[in-house]
Amino acid sequence: MKKTILVLVPLVLLASAFQLLSPADKTTPANIVTSNVKQRIDATLKNFIDSGKIAGVSALVFEKGKEVYFGAFGYADREAKMPMDRNTVVRIFSMTKPVTGVALMSLYDKGLFQLDDPLSKYLPEYAHMQVLKAVDANGQLMLEPAKRPITIRDITRHTAGFAGPDVPALAELVRRTDAMNTGNTLAEMSRKLASLPLQFHPGDQWAYGNSVDVQARLVEVLSGKPFDRYVREAVLDPLQMNHTRYLVPDDNRKYFAALYNRSDDGTLTRAPDAQANTFNTKDWPLKPGGYGLTSTLDDYMKFAQMLVNHGSLGRVSVLKPETVKLMATSHLSDTISRRMWLPSKGRVGFGIDFAVRTQPPASAEENNGAVGEFFWDGAASTVFWVDPQNELTAVLFTQLMPFDRVKLHKRFRDAIYGRYLP
């Protein structure tokens, strides 16, 4: 009897080990967005409305391909008592940039360029660029030739060095050149921008600016089509993003959210419609790559879901999986130490039109999120992110300026992921 037991025990242990290794018994990571998390998101967003910090907010979260949260609170138009909803049309401002990046990289998938190609190969106006060296005693700009050409990689990661109004020595020249005047075509914009000195040598620093508008012009040259037409054919229509556009048609303006400004004392003031809606209620010649699109929660979630699904949504393929991975990988080397305000986003690098989280949050004050997440936001405090590790995508819409001084994004992330624990 004792001998039989000695034989059986190893067999039991072996069977147990086999069960642990059996594919049928592998467990997938638990979902993040549980019923408790949904309640926490609701309470968080509602608190922002009840406290008067924002007029309206909506959020949509998908996990593992399924909708796990939708919530809308407050007003899209406070004065008209129009509730915030998933049909609300909002200005996404710089969340236009990832859409432009996807359009550009669809041409990369076709073999039409390489990231380290000189930009001047396709846009000759960017040959022989000059760089601001100093300003002499008489206020004259001292220039020197760029150490190397601007590459396409530079315009996808904001290291081109384009002049901006935030550089005192160049501010007046930038104003007079007026490259981003909405009466310019993208071709005119590009030529005017190229006429300005660079603020630093290509690749030396990270500085947010007109790089993605130049991407839009590059899309036109490579595709042979107007930018807005190509982005619709290559990205928006395949993903059925039917409510994402520059010009909001008359029959959709009833869904168009108002824009609110928050003063230092916390007062919310509606921006005049004539000012807030000017760009999106007239068909301007300029179709920027860096801002200007309007969208709805569901439309932008389709875009996010395409990205978390490695470039495809359903039977539609927009990008190759390896191209999405390339976009979601930081292209900033450690030598690029001057990064403007990018560090305020957390411990992130920058890929192709996305910030990319490279390390976990260092403190409870930093925005929460998972390593490998890629994301971007918009001037009116909108945000989205793609979390491949948890197969989670989130889109949050509001219409609040200046950008997120109320820490809405931080609280929304904490509501989803839980508070940071050092």
Tell me the pLDDT of the chain (422 aa) as tens digits: 444 444 434 433 334 333 333 343 344 568 999 999 999 999 999 999 999 999 999 999 999 999 999 999 999 999 999 999 999 999 999 999 999 999 999 999 999 999 999 999 999 999 999 999 999 988 899 999 999 999 999 999 999 999 999 899 999 999 999 999 999 999 999 999 999 999 999 999 999 999 999 999 999 999 999 999 999 999 999 999 999 999 999 999 999 999 999 999 999 999 999 999 999 999 999 999 999 999 999 999 999 999 999 999 999 999 999 999 999 999 999 999 999 999 999 999 999 999 999 999 999 999 999 999 999 999 999 999 999 999 999 999 999 999 999 999 999 999 999 975 44
Predicted structure pTM score: 0.92
Q: List, in sequence order, every beta strand (DSSP E) within 78-140.
A: 82-83, 90-91, 130-135
Alpha-carbon distance values, 226 to 152, 232, 233 (Å): 19, 10, 11
Each residue of 239-283: pLDDT tens digit? 999 999 999 999 999 999 999 999 999 999 999 999 999 999 999
Residue 314 phi, psi (nearest 5) = 60, -130
List the domain boundaries for the chain: 35-105+225-417, 114-222
**Is residue 198 a contact partner of residue 162, using CB atoms and an 8 Å limit?**
yes
Q: Is the peptide bond before 402 cis (omega within 30 degrees of 0)?
A: yes
Instruction: Give CATH superfamily name and number for 35-105+225-417.
Output: DD-peptidase/beta-lactamase superfamily (3.40.710.10)
Q: How far apart are CA 202 and CA 99, in angstroms?
A: 24
Each residue of 298-356: pLDDT tens digit? 999 999 999 999 999 999 999 999 999 999 999 999 999 999 999 999 999 999 999 99
